[in-house]
């Protein structure tokens, strides 16, 4: 049995705790540096995991079987146009469940005709098919959506963002907007869309009304397709040729959920930067622990000499100071984990996400804190163990 193992683990912990209790403020400040570093690391990984979980849950709810078709460019570099018959032709594809579309007009929308024409609020006035909300799995937050009767009349439905920018929080009888040089009645406000941000910023009218009142040419500018999930890839491959057989190269086909999934992956690319900042804070905390232990050795030379004269070995002294450093770092690490998890839970609750804290976040943070504490306390512990009893007792 070696000298360093003669002390019972409980005695080691008790001796280390006594050393820290006698210098509470210094120990607290040293542990604070460790806790900030650990909290930063836990929060960064936790928030990243929670946001990705929330985003993927939203994608699962909205479905991964939504495809879109938009016009690209001609060989001469001009903007292409989709045929008016494109939605109908796409609907003939077997695995396609629903096809809806929108067509952008040149009209602008204002609260009244007295508002300067430059104040467009960056909103788009688009013609929309009647089954659009169902295909996009959107809700109508207020009022009602377009129907067969209102699609040919000067009636609009607002996207979520469009309503906010126009200052319309509630639908009331007779509510009107100045659209394309004439009044349109407001029928409803759509709920917020996640997969199709362009709908949020749109003012929607029926195709008939757009052609009658807004000089719309009838060509769709975006087609939304819901396909059978297991055949999405097959449908995606034939969409361009089906939508525009003569010029399939002028058609762009995309999958909105794939873009969101890519964004979720891209978010993790920024984690390295924030983890680096957390590591710096953890390193600074480790330096604080080392500084605390060095000063502690200088201040406690009389205690070291007394213990050595009473029979304590070099190993006992070394273990005492090393355990103090580890205990100090562990306390900071535990506080940092609790703080990091708390920040993650609070932010996830605010955003409506599930709280996800990967084991590598809290386990790795706590392990790093203990390791840094051990490294920071090693040199002071060795220095304390090398002191001769007679030399240490001179300060008594």
According to DSSP, the β-strands at 222-227 and 66-71 are: antiparallel
Whether 261 is in a domain gets the answer no
The residue from 230, 256, 282 where one domain ends is 256
Residues 221 and 272 in one domain: no
Any domain includes 185: yes
Give alpha helix (H) positions in the chain: 9-21, 24-62, 86-91, 132-136, 160-165, 197-200, 207-213, 232-243, 256-269, 271-299, 301-309, 314-351, 359-386, 389-393
- Tell me, yes or no, whether 247 and 307 share the same domain: no
Q: Residue 327 belongs to what domain range?
A: 3-59+266-393
Contact yes or no for 127/118 (Cβ under 8 A): no
The pLDDT of residue 3: 42
Tokens 């204002």 label which residue? 110
Same domain, 115 and 37: no
Whether residue 111 lies inside any domain: the answer is yes
Contact of 372 with 286, CB cutoff 8 Å: yes
The total number of structural domains in the chain stands at: 2
Cα distances from 53 to residues 27, 191, 266, 351, 353, in angstroms, run 38, 22, 14, 12, 7
Where a domain ends, among 195, 225, 256? 256
Do residues 217 and 274 both lie within one domain? no
By the 10 Å C-beta count (0-12 exposed, 13-18 middle, 19+ buried), 246 is classed as: exposed
pLDDT value at position 159?
96
Q: Could you tell me if 150 and 193 lie in one domain? A: yes
How far apart, in whole angstroms, are the C-alpha atoms of residue 9 and residue 13?
6
Distance CA 101, CA 240 (A): 15
Question: Do 287 and 250 share a structural domain?
Answer: no
Q: Are 309 and 330 contained in the same domain?
A: yes
Same domain, 97 and 204: yes
**What pTM was estimated for this model as a whole?**
0.61
Same domain, 39 and 112: no
For residue 170, the surrounding DSSP H or E stretch is none
Domain boundary among 235, 256, 277: 256
Phi, psi of 123 (to 5 degrees): -105, 150
Same domain, 153 and 247: yes
> Residues 172, 289: one domain?
no
315 within some domain:
yes
What pLDDT, in 10s, does the model give residues 265-301? Answer: 555 555 665 666 667 766 776 777 777 777 766 666 6
Residues of the chain with pLDDT under 50: 1-5, 396
- Quick: pLDDT tens for 172-212: 888 999 999 999 999 999 998 877 889 999 999 999 999 99
Are 29 and 50 contained in the same domain? yes
């Amino acid at each position: 049995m070696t000298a360093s193992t003669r002390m019972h683990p409980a005695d080691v912990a008790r001796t280390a705790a006594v050393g820290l209790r006698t210098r509470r403020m210094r120990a607290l400040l040293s542990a604070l540096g460790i806790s900030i570093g650990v909290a930063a690391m836990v929060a960064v990984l936790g928030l990243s995991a929670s946001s990705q979980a929330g985003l993927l849950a939203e994608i699962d709810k909205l479905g991964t079987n939504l495809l879109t078709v938009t016009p690209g460019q001609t060989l001469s570099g001009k903007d292409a146009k989709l045929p008016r018959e494109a939605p109908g032709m796409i609907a003939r594809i077997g695995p396609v469940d629903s096809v809806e579309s929108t067509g952008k007009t040149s009209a602008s929308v204002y609260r009244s005709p007295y508002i300067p024409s430059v104040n467009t609020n960056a909103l788009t006035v688009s013609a929309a098919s009647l089954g659009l909300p169902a295909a996009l799995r959107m809700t109508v937050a207020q009022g009602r959506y377009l129907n067969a009767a209102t699609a040919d009349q000067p009636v609009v439905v607002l996207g979520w963002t469009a309503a906010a920018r126009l200052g319309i929080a509630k639908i009331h009888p007779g509510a009107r907007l100045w659209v394309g040089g004439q009044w349109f009645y407001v029928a409803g406000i759509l709920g917020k869309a996640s997969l199709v941000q362009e709908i949020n910023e749109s003012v929607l009218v029926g195709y008939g009304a757009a052609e009658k009142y807004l000089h719309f040419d009838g060509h769709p500018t975006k087609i939304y397709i819901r396909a059978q999930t297991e055949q999405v890839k097959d449908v995606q491959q034939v969409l361009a040729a089906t939508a525009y057989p003569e010029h399939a190269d002028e058609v762009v086909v995309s999958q909105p959920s794939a873009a969101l999934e890519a964004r979720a992956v891209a978010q993790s690319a920024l984690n390295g930067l924030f983890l680096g900042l957390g590591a710096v804070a953890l390193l600074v905390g480790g330096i604080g622990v080392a500084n605390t232990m060095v000063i502690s050795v200088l201040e406690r030379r009389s205690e070291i000499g007394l213990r050595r004269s009473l029979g304590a070995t070099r190993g006992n002294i070394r273990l005492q100071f090393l355990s103090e450093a580890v205990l100090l770092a562990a306390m900071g690490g535990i506080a940092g984990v609790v703080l990091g998890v708390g920040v993650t839970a609070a932010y996830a609750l605010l955003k409506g996400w599930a709280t996800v804290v990967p084991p590598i976040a809290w386990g790795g943070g706590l392990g790093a804190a203990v390791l840094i504490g051990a490294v920071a306390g090693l040199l002071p512990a060795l220095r304390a163990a090398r002191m001769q009893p007679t030399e240490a007792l001179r300060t008594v």
